[in-house]
């Protein structure tokens, strides 16, 4: 599903772009392409009639039947696709339209995102603080969290930054009058990986 494995910032960027182009006019146009109960009934009756007429082998009637078959298969494909998409909100939609139950999703492996490795923090010659680590398998981005209190108290930790890169990540917003503890993890969409070991930054 679009956005399912993206970071929050990526999903927000995609939804913002779609909000700009998804107007009432375009929504109405999309609906006009979908079969409604009346048009589906009309297409069905026409297809059934041309099929019956084609059974005698008249080439023109066989051709007309094939044309109606294309229309009906398009209708079925559109309605099946819509029902499948809407099953995200209501899993019974496909069954209600006679398409059967949507296929069960395969169980997600427990080891989706690897543990971070090679996590380090360092200062460049100008005194700017950076973090770096090895690329984490399965991650689309990285969350860096900081704590300037007791690192054993979960509520002391806060999200400092999100980065799409794993090398030379600039770190700002720390209280440099205190010792800062840092940890990082890989992330993909709403799935987060295990934490790295802690790194400390002494007061300035």
CATH number at residue 162: 2.60.40.10
In a domain, 139, yes or no: yes
**Are residues 133 and 77 located together in one domain of the fold?**
no
Percentage of the chain lying above the pLDDT 70 cut: 92
150-179 in b/e form (b: 16+ CB < 10 A) is ebeeeeebeebbebeebeebebeeeeeeee
Check: CB of residue 87 under 8 Å from CB of residue 80.
Answer: no
Q: Are residues 30 and 67 in the same domain?
A: yes
Task: Tell me the residue range of the domain where 148 lies.
Answer: 120-201
Average pLDDT, stretch 178-204? 93
pLDDT band at 1 (very low <50, low <70, confident <90, very high): low
Going by C-alpha positions, the residue among 62, 44, 46, 64 that lies closest to residue 54 is: 62
Q: 204: pLDDT confidence band, cut at 50, 70 and 90? A: confident
The torsion angle over the Cα atoms of residues 142, 147, 150 and 153, rounded to 10 degrees, is -50
Over residues 34-42, the mean pLDDT reads 95
Can you give the pLDDT at residue 10? 81
Whole-angstrom distance, CA of residue 173 vs CA of residue 146: 10
Q: What is the mean pLDDT of residues 27-31?
A: 94
Question: Does any domain span residue 110?
Answer: no
* Same domain? 175 vs 127: yes
- Confidence check: pLDDT of 180 > 70: yes
Task: Identify the DSSP state of 99.
Answer: S
pTM for this predicted structure: 0.49
Average pLDDT of every residue of the chain: 90
Same-domain check for residues 92 and 160: no
């Amino acid at each position: 599903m679009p956005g399912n494995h993206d970071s929050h910032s990526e999903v927000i960027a995609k939804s913002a772009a779609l909000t700009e182009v998804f107007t009432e006019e375009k929504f109405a146009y999309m609906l006009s392409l979908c079969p409604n109960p009346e048009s589906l009934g009309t297409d069905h009756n026409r297809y059934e009639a041309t099929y019956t007429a084609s059974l005698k082998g008249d080439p023109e009637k066989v051709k007309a039947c094939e044309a109606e078959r294309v229309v009906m298969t398009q209708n079925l494909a559109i309605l099946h696709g819509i029902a499948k998409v809407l099953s995200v909100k209501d899993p019974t939609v496909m069954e209600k339209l006679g398409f059967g139950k949507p296929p069960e999703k395969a169980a997600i492996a427990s080891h989706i995102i690897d543990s971070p490795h090679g996590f380090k923090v360092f200062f460049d010659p100008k005194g700017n603080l950076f973090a770096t680590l090895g690329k984490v398998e399965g991650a689309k981005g990285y969350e860096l969290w900081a704590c300037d209190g007791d690192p054993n108290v979960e509520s002391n930790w806060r999200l400092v930054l999100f980065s799409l890169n794993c090398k030379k990540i600039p770190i700002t917003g720390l209280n440099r009058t205190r010792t800062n503890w840092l940890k990082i993890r890989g992330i993909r969409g709403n799935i987060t990986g295990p934490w790295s070991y802690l790194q400390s930054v002494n007061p300035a």
